[in-house]
Amino acid sequence: MNRISANCLKVSVFVIFAFFTVIIFSRPLHAGDYTMQTNLNEVADQMARWSKQYGTEKLTPEARAELSKLLLETSQMLKEMAGKIDSKMHMEHYNKLQMMKKAWDPFDTADRM
């Protein structure tokens, strides 16, 4: 396994672990719950797309580099979601998720699979 794919695999496993940790500990939250839930669902959907695309091993080196960057950003966002609960942060996460989707658009092949 080459170095980039090994790093992406490690990052993917960490992000998935962090995602489920956030899901488990965010259940008792009431304030802003819908927005948090919406953002977490967006993260889960996007990670499912990335996972499906990464699993085909048809990604170019540029796509792998972009995916690695997006996974690191997702990991950081999940850490922030676990620690801060205010409406401003929810909106920032929503906006960041939309930017991440746009950044992945040139590499997105999920509709062609």
pTM reported for the whole predicted model = 0.51
User: Using CA atoms, how far apart are residues 79 and 75, in angstroms rounded to an integer?
Assistant: 6
Confidence of residue 23 (pLDDT cuts 50, 70, 90): low
Residue 89 is assigned to a structural domain of this protein: yes
Is 50 exceeded by the pLDDT of residue 32? no
Domain assignment present for residue 39? The answer is yes
C-alpha–C-alpha distance, residues 26 and 39, integer Å: 12
Q: Is residue 29 part of a domain?
A: yes
Q: Domain for residue 25, yes or no?
A: yes
Domain span at residue 14 reads 3-108
Q: Is the dihedral of CA 29, 30, 32, 38 positive or negative?
A: positive
In the chain, the number of structural domains is 1
Name the residue type at position 45.
D
Q: Is residue 56 part of a domain?
A: yes
The pLDDT of residue 59 is: 80
**Does residue 113 sit within a domain?**
no
pLDDT for 40-91, tens place per residue?
A: 888 888 888 888 888 777 888 888 888 888 888 888 888 877 776 666 777 7
Bigger pLDDT: 45 vs 35: 45
Per-residue tokens: 47: 């990670």
For helices 61-83 and 33-55, angle between their N-to-C axes, nearest 10 degrees: 160
